[in-house]
Amino acid sequence: MAFLKLIRYPNLGIVILTQFLFYWFIQQVFQENGISPILDIPHFSLLVFTTLCIAASGYIINDIYDYEIDLINKPDRMILGKKISIRNAQRFYYTTITLGAIVAIYLANHVQNLNLFIIYPVAVFIMWLYSKSLKKRPLSGNMVVALFSAFVAGIVWFAERAGFLALNSDYGIQMRSLFLFYMLFAFSSTLYREVIKDIEDYEGDRDHDCKTLPIVLGIEKAKGLTLIFGMFLLGNIAYWLIAQWSALSLTLILLTVFLLIAPTLFSIWKFYQSKTKSDYHKSSQIAKLVMVAGLLYLLLFLIFK
């Protein structure tokens, strides 16, 4: 159980659900347009596995590098040093990236394009670089995490890009728009939450010479910038609703309002009122619920479309 907590199994569950939801709708849209997916279910499952290896390895190496900082920021939630030794965590890390690499090579060979394998080591390297240094710099670390969140859906699009480019029906075009909207939603909601977390972790990051946004700009200016990120997220949702208004049923319009717009507004309001570390932690959790609501919206969209 300690290992599952180390690799953030709830977050990995979201990755699995996201990618299989998109694969489900890809199969539906492609079938309607007479297109066959490049990856069948067993091979797509292997693609999901490589994504999980990238994410899990990122969580492990991040906790290893953040051990001293986490002793200050979240001593009651520590896994390393209490339930898993750092040495064992390092072994888990290398085992995870090795298994992922083996599967990535197999998949690249399966689609007869070994050049695609390069995506895996590049992604692993970026996650390592994030944990070692990027997360300690203003905004760059936040951007990496946000881009990875978009990558979770984006890699599915990339794997089936040939079929997507061939879509020409109205339904197919709408589904392609949904795909792009969700990628942007994942990016903007993650960026918003990541900066909130930096404000929450201000004390521990400051004591370890990190240069996160709240440390470089000050908490108040970082808070103002975070509110802009929150409004950017809200603007993305509003644009989707306006652009798709005539194509959406009343049910989907209401789902957009109550599952996405209302929680995002509530999150921004609660964050604006935050003053203490506890307040920012609550705001971070609410922002995470907004991200989960986005996934639920995707599922309901595919049901009620």
Asked if residue 153 and residue 217 are part of one domain, the reply reads no
Q: Which helix (H) or strand (E) holds 73?
A: helix 67-73
Q: Which domain holds residue 291?
A: 169-305
**Under a CB-based contact definition with an 8 Å cutoff, are residues 222 and 213 in contact?**
yes
96 and 192: one domain?
no
Same domain as 192, residue 160: no
Q: How far apart are CA 63 and CA 61, in angstroms?
A: 5
Kindly report the CATH number assigned to the domain that includes residue 256: 1.20.120
Going residue by residue through the chain (305 aa), what tens digit of pLDDT does each one get?
777 888 888 889 999 999 998 888 888 888 877 888 888 999 999 999 999 999 999 999 988 888 887 777 777 777 877 788 889 999 999 999 999 999 999 999 998 888 889 999 999 999 999 999 888 888 898 999 999 999 998 898 888 888 877 777 676 777 778 888 999 999 999 999 999 999 998 888 887 778 889 999 999 999 999 999 999 999 999 999 999 998 888 999 999 999 999 999 999 999 999 999 899 999 999 999 999 999 899 888 878 77
Query: CA-to-CA distance for 121 and 200, rounded, in angstroms?
Result: 32
- pTM (two decimals): 0.89
The residue out of 166, 191, 226 marking a domain boundary is 166
Q: Which residues pair with 80 in a beta bridge?
A: 84
